[in-house]
Structure 1
Amino acid sequence: MATVSLSAGVRSALTSLSQTTAASQQGQYRLATGKKVNSAVDNPVNYFTAAGLNDRAGQMTNLLDGISNGIQTIQAASQGLDSAVKLVESLQSTVKQAQADAAANRPTKTGTALATSTEVTATGGKSLKDIALDKRIGKAGAVVGATASDAGHLIDTTTNTNLALTVSAGATTFTVDLASTATVRDLVNTINSSGLATASVDDSGRLNVTGMGSDTLRVGLGAGTDAATARTNSTAAGNQNAAIGLATADGSSAGAGITASGGNSTVRSNLIKQFNDLTKQIDQLAKDASFNGKNLLAGDKLSIVFNEKTGTQQAKLDVQGSVLTAGNLGVLQAGTADAAGVSFNIQNDSSLETASDTLTNALTSLRSMASSLGSSMSVVQTRQDFTKNLVNTLTQGADNLVLADSSEEGAKLLALQTRQQLSQTALSLASQADQAVLRLF
Structure 2
Amino acid sequence: MAISLSSNVRNSLTSLQSITSQAAAVQSRLASGKKVNSAVDNPVNFFTAQSLNNRSDQLKGLLDGISNGIQTIQAASKGIDGITKLVGSLQSTIKQAQADAAQNRPTVVGTGTTLASSAEALLTSKSLKDIALDKRVGSAGDTTVATATAASAGDLGVDTTATGFLNIQIVTNPAAATSTTNVSVALTANTTVRDVVNAINSSGVASAFVDEKGLLNVKGSGSETLGVGLGVGATAIAATGTSATGASNTAFGLAATDATTGIASSGVTSATRSNLIQQYNDLRTQIDSLAKDSGFNGVNLLGGDKTTITFNEKTGKNQTKLEIQGTNLTSDNIGLVQAGNAQVAGTINFQNDTDLDKATGALTNALGSLKSLASTFGANLAVAQTRQDFTKDLANVLTTGADNLVNADANEEAAALLSLQTRQQLSQTALSLASQSDQAVLRLF
Deviation at 1:3, TM superposition (A): 2.6
Aligned partner of 2:29 in structure 1 is: 30
Q: Residue 64 of structure 2 aligns to a residue in which SS?
A: helix
Deviation at 1:238, TM superposition (A): 8.1
1:19 maps onto 2:18 in alignment:
yes
- For the Cα contact (< 8 Å) 1:36–1:402, is it kept in 2? yes
Aligned partner of 1:383 in structure 2 is: 387
Change (3 A) 1:200 1:307: closer
- For the Cα contact (< 8 Å) 2:236–2:244, is it kept in 1? no
Change (3 A) 1:256 1:406: same
In structure 2, how many angstroms separate the alpha carbons of the residues matched to 1:336 and 1:261? 14
Change (3 A) 1:35 1:88: same
Q: Residue 391 of structure 1 aligns to a residue in which SS?
A: helix
Superposed counterparts of 1:99-114, under 5 Å: 99-102=98-101, 104=103, 106-112=105-111, 114=113
Change (3 A) 1:18 1:332: same
Superposed counterparts of 1:153-232, under 5 Å: 165-169=168-172, 171-174=179-182, 176=184, 188-221=197-230, 228-229=234-235, 231-232=237-238
**RMSD after superposition:** 3.8
Letter in 1 for 2:417: L
- For the Cα contact (< 8 Å) 2:72–2:297, is it kept in 1? yes
CA deviation vs aligned residue, 1:304-354 (integer Å, no higher than 9, x gap): 2222222222222222222211121122121399xx944322222222222
Q: Residue 323 of structure 2 aligns to a residue in which SS?
A: strand
In structure 2, how many angstroms separate the alpha carbons of the residues matched to 1:407 and 1:349? 85
Deviation at 1:86, TM superposition (A): 2.0
Range with greater deviation from structure 2 (195-204 or 372-381): 195-204
Deviation at 1:400, TM superposition (A): 1.1
Letter in 2 for 1:367: K
Aligned partner of 2:310 in structure 1 is: 305
Letter in 1 for 2:354: S
Change (3 A) 1:49 1:199: closer
In structure 1, how many angstroms separate the alpha carbons of the residues matched to 2:420 and 2:201? 112
- For the Cα contact (< 8 Å) 2:56–2:399, is it kept in 1? yes
Deviation at 1:408, TM superposition (A): 0.8
Aligned partner of 1:270 in structure 2 is: 275
Change (3 A) 1:195 1:408: closer
2:422 paired residue among 418, 422, 428: 418
2:338 paired residue among 308, 318, 333: 333
1:370 maps onto 2:374 in alignment:
yes
1:316 maps onto 2:321 in alignment:
yes
Aligned partner of 2:176 in structure 1 is: none
In structure 2, how many angstroms separate the alpha carbons of the residues matched to 1:46 and 1:187? 96
- For the Cα contact (< 8 Å) 1:166–1:175, is it kept in 2? yes
Deviation at 1:73, TM superposition (A): 1.4
In structure 1, how many angstroms separate the alpha carbons of the residues matched to 2:150 and 2:22? 138
Letter in 1 for 2:228: V
CA deviation vs aligned residue, 1:191-249 (integer Å, no higher than 9, x gap): 44544433333443344333345554333456xxx85555449957887767755559x
Aligned partner of 1:48 in structure 2 is: 47
Change (3 A) 1:32 1:351: same
In structure 1, how many angstroms separate the alpha carbons of the residues matched to 2:311 and 2:424? 54
In structure 1, how many angstroms separate the alpha carbons of the residues matched to 2:341 and 2:58? 54
Deviation at 1:35, TM superposition (A): 0.9
CA deviation vs aligned residue, 1:373-419 (integer Å, no higher than 9, x gap): 22222222222222212211111111111111111111111111111
Deviation at 1:33, TM superposition (A): 0.8
1:398 maps onto 2:402 in alignment:
yes
Q: How many residues align?
A: 428
Q: Residue 302 of structure 1 aligns to a residue in which SS?
A: strand
- For the Cα contact (< 8 Å) 1:38–1:47, is it kept in 2? yes
Letter in 1 for 2:213: S
Unpaired runs of 5+ residues, structure 1, are none
In structure 1, how many angstroms separate the alpha carbons of the residues matched to 2:13 and 2:187? 137
Deviation at 1:177, TM superposition (A): 7.7
Q: Normalising by structure 2, report the TM-score.
A: 0.81
In structure 1, how many angstroms separate the alpha carbons of the residues matched to 2:124 and 2:429? 151
Aligned partner of 1:7 in structure 2 is: 6
Unpaired runs of 5+ residues, structure 2, are 174-178
In structure 1, how many angstroms separate the alpha carbons of the residues matched to 2:346 and 2:218? 28
Q: Normalising by structure 1, report the TM-score.
A: 0.82
- For the Cα contact (< 8 Å) 2:93–2:276, is it kept in 1? yes
Range with greater deviation from structure 2 (366-375 or 230-239): 230-239
- For the Cα contact (< 8 Å) 2:129–2:212, is it kept in 1? yes
Deviation at 1:87, TM superposition (A): 2.0
- For the Cα contact (< 8 Å) 2:102–2:352, is it kept in 1? no
Deviation at 1:186, TM superposition (A): 6.0
Letter in 2 for 1:297: L
Letter in 1 for 2:272: V
Aligned partner of 1:295 in structure 2 is: 300
In structure 1, how many angstroms separate the alpha carbons of the residues matched to 2:253 and 2:264? 13
CA deviation vs aligned residue, 1:19-55 (integer Å, no higher than 9, x gap): 1111111111111111111122222222222112111
Q: Residue 424 of structure 2 aligns to a residue in which SS?
A: helix
Change (3 A) 1:29 1:128: closer
CA deviation vs aligned residue, 1:120-177 (integer Å, no higher than 9, x gap): 55x3766444555566778757x898788998888899xxx99865433461333558
Aligned partner of 1:434 in structure 2 is: 438
Aligned partner of 1:80 in structure 2 is: 79
Deviation at 1:110, TM superposition (A): 4.9
In structure 2, how many angstroms separate the alpha carbons of the residues matched to 1:373 and 1:254? 53
Percent identical among aligned pairs is 60
In structure 2, how many angstroms separate the alpha carbons of the residues matched to 1:358 and 1:124? 51
